[in-house]
Amino acid sequence: MSTRDIVILGSTGSIGTQALDLVRANPDRFRVVALTAGGSNRALFERQVAEFAPAYAGLGEEASVEAASRGCDVVLNGITGAVGLRPTLAALEAGNTLALANKESLIIGGPLVKDRARPGQIVPVDSEHSAIAQSLRAGSADEVSRLVVTASGGPFRGRTREELAQVTPAQALAHPNFSMGKVITTNSATLVNKGLEVIEAHLLFDIDIDRIDVVVHPQQYIHSMVEFVDGAVVAQLGLPTMMVPIAMGLGWPERVPGAETPIDWTQASDWRFEPVDDEVFPAVRLAVQAGRTGQTAPAVYNAANEVCVEAFHDGRLSFTGIVDVIASVVGRHDVRSETLTVEDVLAADAWARQEADRLVRGEAS
């Protein structure tokens, strides 16, 4: 593999810092040519810039759009939230390979993102979608029967809805297997993250959303599976970390030796699988409905969630209120039926945020 020039958007976040760890360990394979971040950790960003000496560095959304537009081999979009849409579009329009960890940009952009992407230009970095992409190598597209996305179940698996109503922000951030920042960790606790991943898988792999299942696998060693028409199931296994998906995103289709420690098969372990409790955790079912509707519905689902997560951590909304408000906002949204534009998506996003905030504040409808 020749040295690849890479751009990292969101360099101070969980994905960005791990990607830089990978670059640091593989200086012959990867060279950082641009770094951007949101600005919440300027000291870390300055240290990163000093260490990697990129040709371009900047803070904020406009800086990320500029960096994504620059000529390079791979743009890693590690931004969290809908703010990642414009950089995603910029990377695709520049012809760069997009290693996509910012699932929200594909989910809310939908056909806008897909129309701009040439075949193979988007490489998924979410562990579940990376697992599916790797497993799909085992057969042709017309041999795929179903996709199975695995979920840890979060820290509250097995609890009743009444028990969930008492959950605190600190408890929601205490994920049993990982810490990925406030928004993603909370989304994992509500299973909103899994709902978003179902929509993402539908868009990434052109599989009907009704042929995508979610199964709870608390140990998170199986990252996702592909079921083929002959009944064979191919899965990608590994430790519950992000290093392999990040390495695959930067190196695709080649693998980066030593990216992660393999599973120790000499140690006894039990792996469990169970269905999602849709009554206690309705986020996945709601996301499937939004994904089936398409157009601006996924953008509304995502935007409402981002507002609700902030409200929950500010003490203004209960844990169960997060998905309750999302459901109300999605139900009130008038989905556009004509051709989607960036302006439509941003308008739907803004409307959903205002509506969610209004509902959180308890204003009358």
Q: Give the end-to-end CA distance of the chain in Å, rounded to a whole number.
A: 58
Closest CA to 33 of 9, 15, 17: 9
- Please give the pLDDT value at position 339: 82
- Please give the pLDDT value at position 309: 97
- Please give the pLDDT value at position 272: 96
Answer whether residue 179 shows pLDDT above 80: no
% residues pLDDT > 90 (the chain): 92
Answer whether residue 147 shows pLDDT above 70: yes
Answer whether residue 3 shows pLDDT above 90: yes
- Please give the pLDDT value at position 340: 87
Answer whether residue 136 shows pLDDT above 90: yes
- Please give the pLDDT value at position 178: 66
96-109 residue pLDDT tens: 999 999 999 999 99
Mean pLDDT of 63-88: 96
- Please give the pLDDT value at position 220: 94
325 confidence band (pLDDT: 50, 70, 90): very high
User: Rounded to an integer, what distance in angstroms lies between the CA atom of residue 227 and that of residue 242?
Assistant: 23
Answer whether residue 247 shows pLDDT above 70: yes
Q: In the chain, what's the furthest Cα-to-Cα distance?
A: 60
Answer whether residue 364 shows pLDDT above 70: no
Q: What is the pTM of this model?
A: 0.94
Mean pLDDT of 115-122: 96
Answer whether residue 257 shows pLDDT above 60: yes
79-94 residue pLDDT tens: 998 899 999 999 999 9
Mean pLDDT of 158-165: 95
- Please give the pLDDT value at position 337: 66
State the fold for domain 294-365: Rna Polymerase Sigma Factor; Chain: A (1.10.1740)
- Please give the pLDDT value at position 365: 42
User: Chain-wide mean pLDDT for the chain?
Assistant: 95
- Please give the pLDDT value at position 338: 74
Query: Long-range contacts of range 361-364, CB-CB < 8 Å, 24 or more positions apart?
Result: 361/316
- Please give the pLDDT value at position 16: 97
Q: Where are the domains of the chain?
A: 4-125, 126-242+262-290, 294-365
User: Rounded to an integer, what distance in angstroms lies between the CA atom of residue 75 and that of residue 152?
Assistant: 28
Mean pLDDT of 192-210: 97
Mean pLDDT of 246-251: 98
Mean pLDDT of 278-285: 97
More confident residue, 164 or 338: 164
* CATH code, 4-125: 3.40.50.720
What residue type is assigned to position 135 of the chain? S
Q: What angle do CA 88, 93, 95 make, to 5 degrees?
A: 100
- Please give the pLDDT value at position 177: 64
